[in-house]
Amino acid sequence: MPTAAWTVTTRSEAATEAVARQLAASLPPGMALLLSGDLGAGKSVFARGVIRGLGVEETYLPSPTFTLVNLYAAGRLPIAHCDLYRLETPEEMDGLGIEEYADGSGVVIVEWPERGADPRFGEPIAVRLEEIPDDPDGRHITITATGDAGKTLLRKLPGHNHAP
């Protein structure tokens, strides 16, 4: 299935957050963002950018590493921000109530989706963050989509490219 892709390099946390805000500006309801990357790659920074880009003005936006889910209703769309790092089995996601946010009413942001979220969301946008060697603040960010809504969104962003 053809994908749309957007790749960008950032050199600071502020720049990574700005990329996320840019993506969030056009996010439609019902979208899931699956954030992957090594520990410390910038997933929480990217998530904060999306949350702020959707209009949440809270100063402190912690990663839900211990709570598993943080919910935000004050922005343009309701948001469920999940961190699945501590899960040991995909079944532990049951009962968190996040699927309803990606069924048309809001946005779901999932850090560590490989811990159980991948099959739960039909056509999510995948965000891969990678540290740049010898540049502690540098990140390569690759955003891909296979679903129509995600591809349409990515095509609006500057410098996107298509990949087979």
CATH number at residue 39: 3.40.50.300
Judge whether 164 lies within some domain. Answer: no
* Structural domain total, the chain: 1
49-71 pLDDT tens trace? 999 999 998 777 877 877 888 88
Question: What is the DSSP track for 103-130?
Answer: TTTSEEEEESGGGTTGGGSSSPEEEEEE
Whether 161 maps to a domain, the answer reads no
Residue 163 domain-assigned (yes or no): no
pLDDT of residue 164: 37
pTM of the predicted model as reported, rounded to 2 decimal places: 0.89
Q: Is residue 38 part of a domain?
A: yes
Nearest CA among 2, 23, 27, 6 for reference residue 149: 27
CA distances from 49 to 106, 119, 148, 155 (A): 16, 25, 23, 20
